[in-house]
Amino acid sequence: MKRHLANTYLVLVFIILYAPILFLIVYSFSQGDTMTNYHGFTWRHYQTLFSDARMLAIVANTLLVALLSSLIATLIGTLGALSINRTTKRVTRESLLTLNNVLMVSPDVIIGASFLIFFTMLKIPLGFGSVLMSHIAFEIPIVVLMVLPRLREMSTSMLDAAQDLGATTRQLLSRVIIPFISPGIFAGFFMALTYSLDDFAVTFFVTGNGFSTLSVEIYSRARQGINLEINALSGVMFLFSLLLVGGYYWIQQASQKRKHRKREVVS
Amino acid sequence: MTNRKTWLYFIPYGLWLALFVIAPVGLIIYQSFFDLGHHFTVANYGTYFQSATYLKMTLNSVWYAFLITLFTVLISYPTAYFLHQLKHRQFWLLLVILPTWINILLKAYAFIGIFSQAGLANQFLTFIGIGPQQILFTNASFIFVATYIQIPFMILPIFNALDDLNPAFINASKDLGASAWQTFHRVIFPLTLPGVKAGVQAVFIPSLSLFMLTRLIGGNKVITLGTAIEEHFLTTMNWGMGSTIGVVLIVAMIIVMTLTGDQKPKGGTPR
């Protein structure tokens, strides 16, 4: 009986979580122009979407910013995690971690507003460059947080062994450390990617006039009212997120399996 | 030699810390001391603390963030609890997280459709005999959509706290004759409180600063601290005042963090 109640509750929560998303996608196939009555199946809105040159350019921009910023953030973040892990003093480590987390906990508006002041003071023009830099900036801490636990798991005897066998710092990094922490690096990269794709507020502040990303474009179109082309877009983006989640899940599973296997070898 | 070399690896990260963490926070504090004519002044703080409008707006914003957080906890705790008892719980948890990967703007946009005059919500109200109501652009719709967006961020930390909970405690409590409610109330809930606190941290602060939801769903009736900052920076171009509100938001954030931070005594201190 109790189990029954619990399951009903869970079903309700899942319905609420998914209803709006399904609602959007269902209406992307409606022949009407509003999200009120379903008028029969059509691919029309998807055709409009794929022939909308402005929208396609914005999609390309968004993907470019996301990929480029995540790559750079992963690089800098991994280096950062390596340096934090090397610190011997507890105070230094704690203060570095606190500073690292400032952007994680700051509200988006604060990050956006302060970056806007920063770019304006340095006379950096607002546009692709400023958006890219901002995205790199707010993605770095999550990469650090994803890589650090893997570094902590790494046993020092492995590093000592490599050094005793004559490995240089570079070899130590490329042959021992990086392969070991690669699951963390991949997880960090994926998280950075989603942060970038999901961001609205920070981009909205630092984007200026000429450059736009998907979130900003959806915002300005949504303010003008319902347009089923956005529904078609959400259908495409939902599919894309599913693929990303699938990829992330797969990497996690794979790394867990590897851990398992190693444990079996050890025991 | 090795030490100097490894120090080089720190440079990009260190530059990021200096340029994008320390400098912006410093700049927003610095900017809050300038008026529209670029003169150094503390007038912004004077205006803020003497104006009934600003103070009321702040209180309102805190109140709405509190309500959103409260509703999120009330919905998320049972969800996390029941979810944790399921067989394939990691899979179901992934399904909870999946909606957070959908762009937040799209979710807000969905609610514009659902809550519109002839939308799904009103069709339902008409069906059960209440008749269509104005739903979009009300405070209630703002709270509803904000809660909807925050739920997964609350479920996740509570779920993790439940996962960390040693089942031996629950068994011990049952063996000692505690009822199901007593076990929950005296053992499970206190031990998962850190998860709730982490969730409150993840929900309350963003709720203070959500500005697109107040525009798209709230119809500008609710002005949060975030909306005010956005308005000062991008519409009226009064960066000084915007930064002042930003500093207030940062202070609010620090207060929330200290209140919800873990009060675990640091290990090693002798009693």
Quote the ipTM score.
Answer: 0.84
Q: Pick the residue with more confidence: A227 or B67?
A: B67
User: Domain range for residue A70?
Assistant: 57-228
* Average pLDDT of every residue of chain B: 86
- Summarised one tens digit per residue, pLDDT across range B188-243 is 999 999 999 989 988 998 898 888 888 888 887 778 899 999 999 998 889 999 99
The candidate with the shortest Cα–Cα distance to B68, out of B193, B189, B226, is B226
The string of DSSP letters for B99-137 reads GGGS-HHHHHHHHHHHTSTTSHHHHHHHHTTS-----TT
Express as a percent the part of chain B with pLDDT over 70.
Answer: 94
Is the Cβ pair A218, B25 closer than 8 Å?
A: no
Q: Which range, of A34-48, A120-134, B9-23, B194-208, averages the lowest pLDDT?
A: A34-48
Considering CB atoms only, which of A10, A110, A198 is closest to B28?
A110
A148 is a domain residue = yes
Question: How would residue B6 be classed by pLDDT, with cut points 50, 70 and 90?
Answer: low
Q: Would the pLDDT of B245 be above 70?
A: yes
Closest residue on chain A to B200 (Cα)? A105
Sign, Cα dihedral of B13, B16, B17, B19: positive
Is the Cβ pair B246, A113 closer than 8 Å?
A: yes
- Summarised one tens digit per residue, pLDDT across range B85-133 is 988 888 888 889 888 888 888 898 889 888 887 778 888 888 887 877 8
CATH code of the domain covering residue A66: 1.10.3720.10
Backbone angles phi, psi at B165, to 5 degrees: -70, 125
Would you state the pLDDT for residue A259?
64
- E strands of chain A, at which residues? none
The CATH class for the domain spanning B27-32+43-260 reads: mainly alpha
Is the Cβ pair B78, A9 closer than 8 Å?
A: yes
Find the mean pLDDT for residues A161-171.
86
Is the Cβ pair A107, B206 closer than 8 Å?
A: yes
For residue A231, the tally of other CB atoms under 10 A from its CB is 25
Would you state the pLDDT for residue A252?
73
pTM listed for this prediction: 0.86
Q: Would the pLDDT of A248 be above 90?
A: no
Would you state the pLDDT for residue A225?
79
Q: How far apart are CA A261 and CA A156, in angstroms?
A: 21
- Summarised one tens digit per residue, pLDDT across range B138-169 is 888 999 999 999 999 999 999 999 988 888 99
A51 is a domain residue = no
Question: How would residue A253 be classed by pLDDT, with cut points 50, 70 and 90?
Answer: confident
Is the Cβ pair A13, B79 closer than 8 Å?
A: yes
In angstroms, what separates the C-alpha of A58 from chain B's closest C-alpha?
A: 15
Is the Cβ pair A234, B230 closer than 8 Å?
A: no
The candidate with the shortest Cα–Cα distance to A177, out of A194, A192, A196, A156, is A156
Find the mean pLDDT for residues A7-25.
92
Q: Would the pLDDT of A115 be above 60?
A: yes
Looking at the complex, does the CB of residue A95 fall below 8 Å from at least one CB of chain B? Answer: no
- In degrees, rounded to 5, the angle at the alpha carbon of residue B140 between the alpha carbons of residues B136 and B146 is 90
Judge residue B62's burial from the number of C-beta atoms within 10 Å of its C-beta, 0-12 exposed, 13-18 middle, 19 or more buried: middle
Q: Would the pLDDT of A267 be above 70?
A: no
Would you state the pLDDT for residue B266?
40
Would you state the pLDDT for residue B9?
79
* Average pLDDT of every residue of chain A: 87
Residue B119 C-alpha from the chain's centroid: 28
Sign, Cα dihedral of B113, B118, B119, B121: positive
Is the Cβ pair B101, A218 closer than 8 Å?
A: no
Looking at the complex, does the CB of residue B120 fall below 8 Å from at least one CB of chain A? Answer: yes
Contact B187, B169 (CB under 8 A): yes
Would you state the pLDDT for residue B4?
56
Contact A231, A25 (CB under 8 A): yes
Identify all chain B residues contacting A23, using CB atoms and an 8 Å cutoff.
110, 113-114, 120
The candidate with the shortest Cα–Cα distance to A238, out of B110, B144, B213, is B110
Residue ranges per structural domain of chain B: 27-32+43-260
Q: Would the pLDDT of B68 be above 90?
A: yes
In angstroms, what separates the C-alpha of B197 from chain A's closest C-alpha?
A: 14
Tokens 């691919």 belong to A43
Q: Would the pLDDT of A130 be above 50?
A: yes
Would you state the pLDDT for residue A48?
86
Q: Would the pLDDT of B262 be above 70?
A: no
In angstroms, what separates the C-alpha of B176 from chain A's closest C-alpha?
A: 22
Closest residue on chain A to B219 (Cα)? A223
Q: How far apart are CA A146 and CA A80, in angstroms?
A: 11
Q: Would the pLDDT of B1 be above 60?
A: no
Would you state the pLDDT for residue B144?
93
Express as a percent the part of chain A with pLDDT over 70.
Answer: 96
- Summarised one tens digit per residue, pLDDT across range A183-215 is 889 989 988 988 898 899 999 999 988 889 999
Would you tell me which residues 2-31 of chain A have a C-beta closer than 8 angstroms to some C-beta of chain B? 6-7, 9-10, 13-14, 16-18, 20-21, 23-24, 27
Considering CB atoms only, which of B2, B94, B110 is closest to A23?
B110
Would you state the pLDDT for residue A264?
59
Question: How would residue A38 be classed by pLDDT, with cut points 50, 70 and 90?
Answer: confident
In angstroms, what separates the C-alpha of B228 from chain A's closest C-alpha?
A: 10
Would you state the pLDDT for residue B3?
55
Q: Would the pLDDT of B178 be above 90?
A: no
A254 is a domain residue = no
Is the Cβ pair B119, A198 closer than 8 Å?
A: no
Looking at the complex, does the CB of residue B103 fall below 8 Å from at least one CB of chain A? Answer: yes
Mutate to test the interface with B, among A2, A104, A114, A135 (most CBs of B within 10 A): A114
Q: Report the interhelical angle of B239-260 vs B52-84 (nearest 10°).
A: 40
Q: What are the angstrom distances between the C-alpha of A22 and each of A16, A32, A240, B102, B222? A: 10, 17, 15, 12, 28
Would you state the pLDDT for residue B271?
34
What's the total number of domains in chain A?
1
Would you state the pLDDT for residue A266?
54
Would you tell me which residues 70-99 of chain B have a C-beta closer than 8 angstroms to some C-beta of chain A? 75, 78-79, 82-83, 85-86, 92, 94-99
Q: How far apart are CA B176 and CA B270, in angstroms?
A: 32
Would you state the pLDDT for residue B82?
93
Is the Cβ pair A237, B102 closer than 8 Å?
A: yes
CB-based contacts of B115-121 (< 8 A; 24+ apart in sequence): B115/B141, B115/B217, B116/A34, B116/A35, B116/A36, B116/A226, B118/A34, B118/A36, B118/A37, B119/A35, B119/A36, B120/A23, B120/A35
Q: Report the interhelical angle of A53-86 vs A214-223 (nearest 10°).
A: 130
